Each structure stands twice: as C-alpha cells, then as structure tokens.
Amino acid sequence: MPPRDEPTSPPAEGSASKRSYHVEALAKGLRLLALFTEQRPSMKLTDMAAGTGVPLPTAFRMAATLVTEGFLEQLSDGAYRPAPKVLTLGFSALRGMDLVELADGPLRRLTAVTGQTVNLGTLSDDRVLYLIRLRNNDLVTANIQVGSRLPAVGTSIGKVLLAGLDDTELEQRLTEASFAGATGPNAVRSLAELRPALAEIRKQGWAVQDEELAYGLRSVAAPVRDASGSVVAAVNVAVPAMEFPVTRLCDELSPPLLDACREITRLLGGR
C-alpha cells in the first residue's frame, strides 16, 4: 500500500486540489535557474534575490542547495553561474524531441550541399530558441550555439515563425523590448516596420535576414510544418555577408533549403 500522504492517482482535470501538488520551494529554484541567460551568464546573490522575489537569506539557501546538487557553481568573485549538470538536462530534453531527431539527417545533407552554417529553431516568447546548429567555421560573426535565444525580429528563423502568427498573437508577443536585441545596420525597430516584411514572407514562403541581427551576417530561412499544417519550427542557412549578396543568397541557397524543410515536414507527417 502507498503511504497515506501520497495520492494513488492524480487529481481530476480542473480540480482545485491540484494546487496541493505545487512545491513552492522547487518552483523558486527553477525560477532562479531560469534567470541565467546568454546575456547574463553569471549573477550575484543580490541579483538572484531580486529576480526571484525572495529575501537574500532565502536566495543564499537556494543557491547553496543548487551548488550542492551540481546545478550551480560559485566563481571566485562570489557570483554564481550554471554548472555543466544543467546542460545535461537540456541536451537530454533536446535528444528526446521528435523534431530534433527527424531533422538531423536532412539538415546534415543541407550542410553538405551548401557548405554553410545551418540552424533549426522554434519560437520561445519573442525569441528564437536554437535546437540544432551545424556550423561552418568560416562564419565568425555570430556566437550562437544550441540553446541560444536570440531576438525573433532580427533573425530569418524568427521572422518565418512570426509570419505564422495572426495580428493578435503578434501584438501580445512583441513589445518595444523585443526590438532592442538586434544590432545590425538594417535592424527593424517596431512592429509597424516589421508587418510589411511578414506579409511578404507569408506570400513567398521564406525569409531573408540582411545584416539585421548583426553586422556581416545574412541568412535565409523557411518553415517546417507538422501534420496539422502549423509552422512548428524553421531552418536557416547563415552566411558571411561579404561573400553572399542577397541575390546570391536567395538564388543559390533557398532551393536546397526549401527541399530540406519539405523533407522534414514530410517526416513530421505534414504535406
């Protein structure tokens, strides 16, 4: 028999008793880990306390526990950063995703055909979460890796994914802050400026990023759809801007890119 304080089955859908299964201490620890980003790879205790909304002594106990369990490590200056154990969780999750597993072969073939860097990403809030990155070492203008989250408005993958949203979803997802992270000379600065580009992407079925994310970087992206026809991800081919004018980028790289995206879509059960 199970212990008296453990349920034999989960509560019914919508039951108020579901709240009793919420472990607030665990939730706070997860929120603390989520504070670390590519732009903020380490933090002091005061920042961790402010970010999670807990007193400083509580933040200290949380951090100490995460250090003991191997999820955080403390630096010589007293700040904390995620430890390698966090990465193992992320990569295990990625390996378990059908999308990542099914896309691997087509993307490796795309990399071989083009000789360029190939990425696959999905939409996470107002950013692109990179799930696969097959890198050409000649591409030195962007420090991107699996797990990176970049502004959707400044990436070709992001623009493809945003083009799949309706106006209401766009307005809910994008704020003024969404446009701050793209630092290229051609970066768009507002939703009003972005809307015509999204309309064109819906019409032609692919997107170009022309030194919007960063100087010297161009890319072309196309959507991946699931069995329902929904856009669930996008793939891009990224190139050095000096070697690939926009015309060459589109003429040479969009055909094999579209072929790869169609193949992944078929593997996901789409048409």
Burial 68-83 (b: 16+ CB within 10 A, else e): eeebbbeeeeeebebb
Predicted pLDDT of residue 38 = 66
Instruction: Measure the CA–CA gap between 121 and 233, rounded to whole angstroms.
Output: 6
Assigned CATH for 96-267: 3.30.450.40
Predicted pLDDT of residue 246 = 96
Residue-wise pLDDT for 92-131, tens only, equals 454 445 788 889 999 999 999 999 999 999 998 899 999 9
Determine the average pLDDT of the residues in 41-68.
90
**Higher model confidence: residue 270 or residue 110?**
110
Residue-wise pLDDT for 216-254, tens only, equals 999 999 999 988 888 989 999 999 999 999 999 999 999
pLDDT reading at 63 higher than 70? yes
Closest C-alpha to 263, from 102, 94, 87, 51:
102
Predicted pLDDT of residue 124 = 87
Determine the average pLDDT of the residues in 64-90.
82
**Where are the domain boundaries for CATH 1.10.10.10 in the chain?**
16-83
Paired strand residues for 150:
128
Q: What is the pTM of this model?
A: 0.67
For the chain, the 3-state helix, strand and coil shares in percent, each to the nearest 5, are 45, 20, 35
Residue-wise pLDDT for 138-190, tens only, equals 665 567 888 888 999 999 999 999 999 988 899 999 999 999 888 999 999 99
Predicted pLDDT of residue 258 = 97
**Where are the domain boundaries for CATH 3.30.450.40 in the chain?**
96-267
Assigned CATH for 16-83: 1.10.10.10
